[in-house]
Amino acid sequence: MNTPFKNLDDLKLSFNHIKVWYTSGMGFFTDAYDLLIIGFILDIFTANKLPGFDLATASGKALEGLLASSSFITAILGQLVFGFLGDKIGRKTVYGTEASLMTAGAFLSALSPSLIWLIIFRMIMGLGIGGDYPISATIMSEYANTKDRGKLIALVFANQGIGSLAAVAVGAISAFSLPPDIAWRVMAGVGAIPAATVIYLRRKVPETPRYSALVKGDLKEAEKSASFLGTKIDTSNKVVEKKIGLGEFFAKYGLLLVGTAGTWFMLDMAYYGTGVYSGPIVTSILGKPSSIGLEIVEAGIPYMVGFFGYFTAVALMDKLGRKWIQAQGFVVMAAIYGIVSLVMLTSGVKVTGFIIPVDLAFGLYALSFFFIDFGPNTTTFVIPAEVYPTSYRTTGDGISAAMGKVGAVISTYLFPSLEASIGLKGILEMLAVLSIIGAILTIAFIREPKLKSLEEVSQEPLVEEKSNVQQ
């Protein structure tokens, strides 16, 4: 069946697509900045007995894992709630709310009087970060042209790479130049800036053409949305999505959901565990540096390597395809985790050295971040925004992203106790197994969206109505 979106699908990449990218992408700058900066803040709290933030106390030790994972816990709720609302009342209706929550949470975190309040404010920020996943990904997906859709959605997510580098820079400069009790507050507060810049822009983005036409049945609104990109949609016949219940959705897309949610879960177990605790991991490999500032720089090196992975994925997303990039990323991650654990010498759970030069071991470990980003960290974000029908697109995306954050919560909360019980070697062996499972799930359950329209790849149930443009 012909759809009204051929002009939109065939449109050449334009400045208007870039505007949508910037508007959608700043939330992921904040997401990555938050991921890395909390690790640096924990480093400061560990090295300095700050009043109200002393992790050496019994209460501080109990709260450390919760502080590391607090924003991820509420991100799960944000992904599910905003995913549901995005399909129920529209992407446009809720867009901007999540950026406001991120801004408020980050700003208030910098003013926290104690660990408990810092956890509460980071939970507010996490709610916004979670909500950003399904809404921004879907808006970019539904506005994109077919030829460049993969790279445009990946570019939204690649703001994580920029956010990571910003976190390293802000963290290192703050640690080198400011007293510890001020440095961590600056680190936390800077995260409010990028999200704040797009609140107004998000409120001005029109509802997407596909949601307007296929779900609301409003071709006039769809025409207005298409004009935002400087094109038109075909209004000669009215096509809408056939309504299906939640049970029918799970029956038809359940195995696909296992693929998108399961692979995201496996990925985030590795990415957030090694990310939040990058400092302790790098210190285990390279030894304790002479200052917190230097520790932050060293902990940021894997992210600097990973930065190039994001943009390699962007460049090749519509050439190699999402499924191939995701599978090879998981396989190489498993190989690197396995090799680094094999060359590691331990005494009990403590790393004592390597059977290869330590710099080479560290280089191998850092290389895993390249293949995380030129692999499942990017593709698990891209694929769910393409493979579900319009009326369940943000719901399917939100469920998938929420399962990822469940993995993030588990790994960040358990990492300190796992490091104490099985050590870094055991953790890397565990991550190698999880990466292999991720590759198997990718091959078995993921559908390739490359160069297909959203209606084609999602197998969207469409029906043609006799009436034309809605009056």
Q: Is the pLDDT of residue 399 over 50?
A: yes
CATH number of the domain bearing residue 381: 1.20.1250.20
pLDDT over 70 percentage in the chain: 98
The pLDDT tens digits for 252-295 are 999 999 999 999 999 999 888 787 677 778 888 888 887 888 88
User: Are β-strands 344-347 and 462-465 bridged in parallel, bridged antiparallel, or unpaired?
Assistant: unpaired
Which DSSP state fits 453?
-
Q: Residue 469 pLDDT > 60, yes or no?
A: no
Question: Can you give the pTM of this predicted structure?
Answer: 0.89
Q: Is the pLDDT of residue 130 over 70?
A: yes
pLDDT computed for residue 466 by the predictor: 60
Half-sphere exposure of 331 (CA within 13 A, CB side): 9
Q: Name the token pair of 129.
A: 């970060």
Asked, for residue 61, whether it belongs to a domain, the answer is yes
Q: Are 183 and 175 in contact (CB under 8 A)?
A: yes
E strands present in 165-303:
238-241
Residue 467 has pLDDT above 70, yes or no: no
Number of domains in the chain: 1
Exposed (0-12), middle (13-18) or buried (19+): which is 388, by Cβ within 10 Å? buried
Residue 71 domain-assigned? yes
58 falls within a domain: yes
In a domain, 324, yes or no: yes
Task: Please state, as a whole number, how many other Cβ atoms lie within 10 Å of the Cβ of residue 227.
Answer: 14
Residue 1 lies in a domain: no
Residue 454 domain flag:
no
Q: Tens digit of pLDDT for each residue in 312-354?
A: 999 999 999 999 999 999 999 999 999 999 999 988 888 888 9
Backbone angles phi, psi at 354, to 5 degrees: -140, 155
Boundaries of domain holding 130? 6-449
3-state secondary structure of 14: coil
Q: Dihedral sign, CA of 27, 101, 77, 277?
A: positive
Give the residue among 40, 30, 41 at the shortest CA–CA distance from 192. 30
Helix (H, G, I), strand (E, B) or coil at 464: strand
> Across residues 177-192, what is the average pLDDT?
94
In angstroms, rounded to a whole number, what is the distance separating the alpha carbons of residues 453 and 320?
Answer: 17
Q: What amino acid is encoded at 48 in this protein? A: N
Q: What is the mean pLDDT of the chain?
A: 90
Would you say 234 and 4 are in contact if contact means Cβ atoms under 8 Å apart?
yes
Give pLDDT tens digits for 41-71.
Answer: 988 998 888 888 888 777 777 788 788 888 8
Residue 469 lies in a domain: no
- State mean pLDDT over 191-220: 91
Q: Does pLDDT of 459 surpass 60?
A: yes
Residue 450 tokens, joined = 């490359």
Q: What is the pLDDT of residues 419-429, one digit of tens each?
A: 888 988 999 99
Q: Report the pLDDT value the prediction gives residue 420, as an integer from 0 to 100.
A: 85
| pLDDT score for 468 | 44
